[in-house]
């Protein structure tokens, strides 16, 4: 494993990474790795299949989920799965970034976005950014049973459906919308428990298989989810019409 810090990559929830330099060489400052791990593309498939980057370190932004588009510079619903490297210690910093050494711990096996990223010239990254995205289907569609469950989860927890229910929390359909939203949140929670308890899956795999839990992601839509024992409650953090994200 090479721990030399050499030209790293792109970002997570910020615009294209810029170091504080005007030079056109990598200063190995680590800013790009601290802004978040890369998205995966078809060229990266073998890194995951060969276990160079174990899937427990990945998470999925599911189709329809709001995500920051690094090229457009705004939040957009993603058109298909986006698979990304997790952050570390509740920060965006890529889990493979060694903060003490300011180095990539998987440098020789870093994904294609990391290879393309030059903060002083983002052309190469912009060329590949939205193309040939790797999806969960590329890995899991052959695993009968698990793939059926993932497709069922995607349909029942569809973000477009969720957005419409959130809009309806504002009007005469409020009670029905709240009930349906709670059902979706409970299903999302229960399916995760089920595959761990009955399927023996590593809990660290859940964010890759089912995306991040709705109990977390709905905050991006102005909804706070609170769970007390078996009961689930939702609270509007923002009035639905004031929430520019839906």
Q: Interface residues with ligand SF4 (CB under 6 A)?
A: 7-9, 17, 19, 21, 26-33, 37-38, 85, 94, 96-97, 104, 106, 110, 114, 117-119
Q: To the nearest whole angstrom, how small is the minimum distance from the Cβ of residue 210 to ligand SF4?
A: 23
| Minimal distance, residue 92 CB to ligand SF4, in Å | 10
User: Residue 238 CA to chain centroid, in angstroms?
Assistant: 23
CB 149 within 8 A of CB 192: no
Q: CB under 8 Å to 58, separation ≥6 — which residues?
A: 40, 48, 83, 84, 85, 86, 207, 208
Provide the minimum distance between the beta carbon of 120 and ligand SF4 in the complex, in angstroms, as a whole number: 7
Nearer to ligand SF4, 26 or 149 (CB): 26
The least CB distance from residue 126 to ligand SF4, in Å, is 14
Angle, vertex CA 208, rays to CA 82 and CA 83, nearest 5? 20
CB of 243 vs ligand SF4, minimal distance in Å:
31
Q: Which is nearer to ligand SF4, 9 or 217 (CB)?
A: 9
Minimum distance, C-beta of residue 116 to ligand SF4, in the bound complex (Å): 10
C-alpha span between 45 and 196 (Å, rounded): 25
Residue closer to ligand SF4 (CB basis): 103 or 218: 103
Residue 89, token pair as written in the block: 């210690």
Close Cβ partners of 150 (under 8 Å, ≥ 6 residues apart): 136, 140, 209, 210
- Maximal C-alpha separation, the chain: 60
Which C-beta is closer to ligand SF4: that of 7 or that of 240?
7
Pick 24 or 142: Cβ nearer ligand SF4: 24
Q: Which residues contact 123 (CB under 8 A, 6 or more apart)?
A: none
Of 85 and 150, nearer to ligand SF4 (C-beta) is: 85
What is residue 150's three-state secondary structure?
helix
Distances, alpha carbon 12 to alpha carbons 16, 23, 113, in Å: 9, 23, 12
Closest CB to ligand SF4 among residues 73, 171: 73
Give the integer Cα–Cα distance in Å for 176 and 218: 18
């Amino acid at each position: 494993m090479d721990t030399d810090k050499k030209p790293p990559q792109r970002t997570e929830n910020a615009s294209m990474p810029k170091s504080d330099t005007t030079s056109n060489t990598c200063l190995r400052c680590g800013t790009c790795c601290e802004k978040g791990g890369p998205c995966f593309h078809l060229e990266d498939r073998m890194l995951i299949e060969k276990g160079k980057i174990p899937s427990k370190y990945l998470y999925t932004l599911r189709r329809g989920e709001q995500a920051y588009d690094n090229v457009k510079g705004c939040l957009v619903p993603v058109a298909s799965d986006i698979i990304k490297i997790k952050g570390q210690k509740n920060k965006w910093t890529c889990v493979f970034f060694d903060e003490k050494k300011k180095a990539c711990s998987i440098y020789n096996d870093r994904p294609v976005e990391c290879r393309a990223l030059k903060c002083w010239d983002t052309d190469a990254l912009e060329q590949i950014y939205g193309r040939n995205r790797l999806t969960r289907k590329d890995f899991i569609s052959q695993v009968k049973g698990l793939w059926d469950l993932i497709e069922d989860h995607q349909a029942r927890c569809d973000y477009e459906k969720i957005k419409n229910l959130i809009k309806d929390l504002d009007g005469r359909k409020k009670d029905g919308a709240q009930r349906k939203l709670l059902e979706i949140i409970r299903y999302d929670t229960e399916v995760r428990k089920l595959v761990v308890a009955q399927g023996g899956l590593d809990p660290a795999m859940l964010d890759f298989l089912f995306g991040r839990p709705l109990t977390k992601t709905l905050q991006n839509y102005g909804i706070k989810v609170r769970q007390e024992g078996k009961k689930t409650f939702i609270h509007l953090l923002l009035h639905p019409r004031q929430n520019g994200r839906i």
